[in-house]
């Protein structure tokens, strides 16, 4: 048989297990955890205390004392947790020390009875205070009652001052103490189960997804509020007994029954369907089926989740990936997908497709002149014009920047090449427009590259590259036109890459030179200045025309490196001529728009003059109209600084770019150069004669000197002299030549 103290200790341990169950159900319940530790400590303290009474072994009393202290400290912590108070390590230490000192003081003053009385008082206070907290703060009267009963069972022991002593205490009090421990444990476990069930119920009821639980006969066990709303049912009873009055609910339950297939216990089945509730909008839904065992009876849980938001987000993401933000047209990603489909159709049934790549001519200049906002307006307008030209079975996309693409199909009964040739020509003509802003006017056109989609085509990327090569060829041939791709263009691309690679080595390898062309006084043909012109003889390619390598360099920062070399070489040559002749001519240097826009351009130029020992007044800088109208505030500042330093500023190729004249006065230039295209037909074309006369008169009225380029015949010279043009330049007065040749001819 067990001793009474063993049964009592076991009863206290059962209470500790009850608290452990509560904590395992809710890991955030610190009070339950602390009570668990406290009652296990109390059980150990009670057992070892009575063992000491039997054996007088001091080891038992030491364990009992430590257990008692741990019990009292954790009781305090549990009550603090009930009051939602956090306990810091410092508070743990201070309370542990205070309880230890209190217990020691009680034993010193009154011996063992007073020590037991001290523990007894703390026990009664702790259980009583817990009952108070559960009743008034936590609103759980049945748990408060269990704590109160547990507290009252200690009162019969008060007369003996010995809660743990083996003294004659009424047996009913001992039994009542055991029963109260079991009762309190049962109440706590029941409360934990109820709390868990309540939390689960609340969670299910307030989930946004519709949930219904059914048995094997499809009878409804449970459903949440979301399912009732979906089924248009006021309460669960209608789903159980009166679905005949709710056809939609009946249809929904039948749909669930039809969709569900046997699912192994513990597994999940997910399906996607379209739900169409009455008086509402249909929506995509995800139905999840799972099963669990309810005391031997299988229950099916059905969860219905509205996928509208997810599908909308997916569609928005797809639109973002496949749609151009500016124009609303499909983008490159979408085109590549459709090209792959077209390739497949070509191989399967011989479909005839073509890809037209449409590029806006001079769009960069338009952006620089009018600003990016106006450029965006032009692109959106152009997109609408293109859409108006497209048929319903054609795909128009914006590739990016100023590039569009059109995927079109020809009828099997027609000549596809002729069809696409006419299509591209019509687009080139239809998309010509004029863009005006203030006194600036810009004529806009397109260049189109065409490639056919055939059964031998390899990939969408190859087709896009072919169309792009054809488009660049159209630009080379004069813009505003269209060109079909052919295999030789791949060779041209290879040559261009080889040329670019060699050009990067031109400066380090010393392959560049400057040639100089005379600019003479119109009336006397006396030398006035020299234009420095860049020449390149490649070690691998031989002599390369400036018409080939200058445009390539202008498309990258390489033009800045070449321009800096030209400036230093021209200044070095000027310094050398200053040592050889008393009056060397002014040197005119061409400056690219990209180089002129560099922030350090003016400091670099002044540093170069100091390095070579030359004066700024010995140089003229030739700029293009594009440089002046670029939307860059640094341009005016650079021009002002250069004039202040003594550099002359000349406007090259006047009349070939923008029709605005306002910047001639705005930027306070020195010279304008009439482009050679106006001089070529000067002898026979009355329109050219009128334009040249107007340019000379306008230049003089603004106080500008005028230079005519491309003068090759005496008749052209005579006309220009008669119209009082200031300076002439052309083969009639000398071809570009090395500096050494110039010294020989003009020494």
500-523 pLDDT, tens per residue?
A: 888 889 889 999 999 999 999 998
- For the record, the structure tokens of 625 come out as 């109209």
- Kindly state the helix (H) or strand (E) to which residue 212 belongs, with its residue range: strand 210-215
- Mean pLDDT over residues 140-161, rounded? 66
Q: How far apart are CA 488 and CA 358, in angstroms?
A: 21
Q: How many CB atoms within 10 Å of residue 349?
A: 8
Per the confidence metrics, is the pTM higher than 0.85?
no
pLDDT level of residue 610 (50, 70, 90 thresholds): very high
pLDDT level of residue 438 (50, 70, 90 thresholds): low
Mention every residue, 6+ apart, whose C-beta is less than 8 A from residue 16.
Answer: 35, 36, 37, 38, 39, 40, 42, 43
Residue 105 has pLDDT above 70, yes or no: yes
Q: Are the CB atoms for 48 and 42 separated by under 8 Å?
A: no
SS (H, E, C) 455-471: CCCCCHHHHHHHHHHHH
Residue 112 has pLDDT above 70, yes or no: no
Burial of 88 (0-12, 13-18, 19+ CB in 10 A): exposed
- Mean pLDDT over residues 286-298, rounded? 75
pLDDT level of residue 6 (50, 70, 90 thresholds): low
pLDDT in the model for residue 598: 87
Q: Any idea which of 223-232, 282-291, 354-363, 630-639 has the lowest mean pLDDT?
A: 630-639
| Helix/strand/coil for 679 | helix
Q: Are the CB atoms for 31 and 62 separated by under 8 Å?
A: no
pLDDT in the model for residue 169: 45
Query: 274 — phi, psi (to 5°)?
Result: -110, 120
- Mean pLDDT over residues 322-350, rounded? 85
pLDDT in the model for residue 657: 55
pLDDT in the model for residue 435: 66
* % pLDDT > 70, the chain: 79
pLDDT in the model for residue 162: 41
**179-210, pLDDT tens digit by residue?**
666 666 666 666 655 665 666 666 667 677 88
Q: How far apart are CA 591 and CA 596, in angstroms?
A: 6
Q: How far apart are CA 375 and CA 381, in angstroms?
A: 10
- For the record, the structure tokens of 415 come out as 């000549």
CA torsion, ordered 603, 605, 610, 615, to nearest 10 deg? -130
Q: Any idea which of 27-31, 589-593, 631-635 has the lowest mean pLDDT?
A: 631-635
pLDDT in the model for residue 166: 45
What are the distances in angstroms from CA 263 to CA 215, 248, 274, 299, 623?
A: 13, 26, 22, 11, 80
Q: Are strands 586-590 and 619-624 parallel, antiparallel or unpaired?
A: parallel
CA 489 to chain centre: 37
* CA-wise closest residue to 4 among 182, 171, 151: 171
Signed CA dihedral, 81, 84, 87, 92: sign only: negative
pLDDT level of residue 163 (50, 70, 90 thresholds): very low
Range picked from 35-49, 366-380, 716-730 for highest mean pLDDT: 716-730
SS (H, E, C) 47-78: HHHHHHHHHCCHHHHHHHHHHHHHHHHHHHHH
pLDDT in the model for residue 144: 74
**121-130, pLDDT tens digit by residue?**
777 777 777 7
Range picked from 16-30, 96-110, 352-366, 607-621 for highest mean pLDDT: 607-621
| Helix/strand/coil for 341 | helix
SS (H, E, C) 398-443: EEECCEEEEEEEECCCCCHHHHHHHHHHHHHHHCCEEEEECCEEEE
- For the record, the structure tokens of 117 come out as 């009385």
Residue 154 has pLDDT above 70, yes or no: no
pLDDT level of residue 560 (50, 70, 90 thresholds): very high
- Mean pLDDT over residues 534-552, rounded? 90
* CA-wise closest residue to 151 among 172, 169, 175, 126: 126
pLDDT in the model for residue 572: 96
pLDDT level of residue 659 (50, 70, 90 thresholds): very low
Residue 164 has pLDDT above 50, yes or no: no
Q: How far apart are CA 379 and CA 361, in angstroms?
A: 12
* % pLDDT > 90, the chain: 22
pLDDT in the model for residue 392: 85
pLDDT level of residue 391 (50, 70, 90 thresholds): confident
Strand partners, 361: none
Q: Any idea which of 443-457, 551-565, 578-592 has the lowest mean pLDDT?
A: 443-457
Mean pLDDT of the chain: 80
DSSP notation for 596-657: HT-TTHHHHHHHHHHHHT--GGGEEEEEEHHHHHSS-THHHHHHHHHHHHT-EEEEEEETSS
* CA-wise closest residue to 650 among 609, 697, 709, 715: 709
CA torsion, ordered 478, 481, 484, 490, to nearest 10 deg? 30
Residue 737 has pLDDT above 80, yes or no: yes
Mention every residue, 6+ apart, whose C-beta is less than 8 A from residue 402.
Answer: 359, 360, 363, 364, 379
Q: Which residue has the higher pLDDT, 213 or 591?
A: 591
pLDDT in the model for residue 715: 94
Residue 645 has pLDDT above 90, yes or no: yes
Q: How many CB atoms within 10 Å of residue 256?
A: 17
**230-278, pLDDT tens digit by residue?**
888 877 776 766 666 777 777 878 777 777 766 666 677 888 888 888 7
Residue 526 has pLDDT above 80, yes or no: yes
Q: Are strands 210-215 and 297-306 parallel, antiparallel or unpaired?
A: antiparallel
Q: Are the CB atoms for 283 and 274 separated by under 8 Å?
A: yes
Check residue 207 and give left, alpha or beta (phi > 0: left; psi -120 to 50: alpha). beta
* CA-wise closest residue to 254 among 268, 275, 269: 275
Residue 332 has pLDDT above 80, yes or no: yes
pLDDT level of residue 339 (50, 70, 90 thresholds): confident
Q: Are the CB atoms for 275 and 285 separated by under 8 Å?
A: yes
């Amino acid at each position: 048989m067990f001793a009474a103290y063993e049964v009592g200790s076991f009863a206290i341990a059962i209470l500790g297990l009850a608290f452990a169950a509560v904590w395992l159900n809710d890991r955030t319940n610190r009070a339950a955890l602390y009570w668990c530790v406290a009652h296990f400590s109390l059980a150990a303290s009670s057992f070892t205390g009575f063992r000491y009474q039997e054996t007088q072994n001091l080891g038992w009393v030491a364990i009992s004392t430590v257990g008692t202290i741990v019990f009292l400290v954790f009781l305090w912590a549990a009550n603090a947790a009930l009051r939602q108070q956090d306990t810091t390590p410092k508070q743990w230490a201070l309370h542990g020390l205070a309880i230890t000192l209190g217990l020691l003081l009680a034993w010193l003053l009154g011996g063992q009875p007073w020590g037991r009385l001290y523990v007894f008082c703390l026990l009664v206070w702790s259980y009583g205070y817990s009952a108070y907290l559960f009743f008034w703060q936590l609103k759980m009267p049945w748990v408060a009652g269990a704590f109160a009963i547990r507290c009252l069972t200690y009162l019969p022991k008060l007369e003996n001052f010995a809660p743990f002593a083996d003294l004659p205490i009424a047996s009913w009090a001992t039994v009542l103490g055991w029963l109260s421990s079991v009762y309190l444990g049962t109440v706590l476990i029941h409360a934990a189960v109820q709390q868990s069930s309540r939390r689960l119920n609340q969670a299910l009821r307030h989930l946004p997804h519709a949930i219904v639980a059914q048995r094997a006969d499809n009878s409804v066990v449970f459903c949440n509020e979301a399912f009732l709303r979906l089924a248009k049912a006021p309460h669960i009873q209608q789903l159980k007994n009166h679905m005949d009055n709710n056809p939609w609910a009946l249809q929904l339950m039948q749909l669930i029954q039809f969709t569900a297939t046997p699912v192994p216990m513990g597994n999940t089945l997910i399906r996607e369907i379209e739900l169409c509730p009455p008086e509402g909008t249909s929506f995509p839904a995800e139905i999840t089926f799972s099963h669990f065992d309810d005391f031997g009876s299988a229950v099916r849980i059905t969860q219905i989740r509205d996928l509208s938001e997810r599908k909308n987000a997916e569609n928005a993401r797809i639109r973002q990936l496949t749609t151009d933000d500016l124009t609303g047209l499909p983008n490159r990603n979408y085109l590549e997908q459709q090209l792959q489909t077209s390739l497949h159709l070509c191989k399967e049934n011989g479909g005839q497709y073509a890809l037209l790549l449409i590029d806006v001519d001079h769009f960069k200049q338009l952006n620089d002149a009018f600003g990016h906002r106006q450029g965006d307006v032009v692109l959106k307008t152009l997109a609408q014009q293109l859409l108006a030209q497209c048929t319903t079975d054609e795909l128009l996309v914006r590739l990016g920047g100023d590039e569009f693409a059109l995927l079109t199909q020809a009828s099997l009964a027609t000549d596809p090449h002729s069809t696409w040739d006419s299509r591209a020509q019509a687009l080139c003509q239809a998309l010509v427009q004029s863009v005006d802003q203030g006194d600036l006017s810009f004529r806009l056109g397109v260049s189109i590259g065409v490639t056919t989609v055939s059964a031998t085509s390899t990939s969408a990327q190859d087709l896009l590259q072919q169309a792009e090569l054809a488009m660049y060829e159209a630009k080379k041939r004069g813009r505003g036109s269209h060109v079909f791709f052919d295999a030789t263009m791949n060779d041209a691309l290879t040559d261009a890459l080889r040329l670019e690679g060699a050009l990067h080595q031109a400066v380090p390898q010393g392959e560049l030179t400057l040639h100089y062309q005379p600019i003479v006084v119109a009336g006397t043909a006396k030398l006035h200045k020299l234009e420095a012109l860049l020449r390149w003889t490649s070690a691998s390619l031989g002599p390369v025309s400036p018409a080939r390598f200058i445009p390539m360099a202008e498309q990258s920062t390489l033009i800045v490196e070449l321009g800096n070399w030209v400036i230093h070489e021209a200044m070095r040559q000027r310094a050398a001529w200053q040592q050889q002749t008393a009056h060397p001519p002014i040197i005119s240097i061409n400056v690219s728009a990209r180089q002129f826009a560099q922030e350090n351009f003016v400091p670099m130029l002044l540093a170069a003059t100091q390095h070579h020992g030359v004066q700024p007044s010995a140089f003229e800088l030739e700029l293009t109209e594009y440089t002046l109208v670029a939307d860059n505030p640094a341009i005016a500042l650079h021009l002002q600084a250069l004039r202040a330093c003594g550099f002359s500023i000349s406007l090259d190729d006047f009349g070939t770019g923008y029709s605005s004249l306002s910047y001639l006065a705005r930027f306070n230039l020195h010279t304008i150069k009439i482009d050679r295209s106006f001089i070529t037909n000067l002898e026979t074309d009355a329109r050219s004669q009128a334009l040249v006369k107007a340019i000379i008169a306008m230049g003089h009225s603004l106080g500008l000197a005028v230079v005519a380029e491309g003068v090759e015949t005496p008749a052209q010279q005579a006309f220009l002299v008669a119209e009082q043009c200031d300076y002439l330049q052309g083969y009639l007065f000398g071809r570009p030549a090395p500096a050494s040749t110039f010294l020989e001819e003009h020494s």
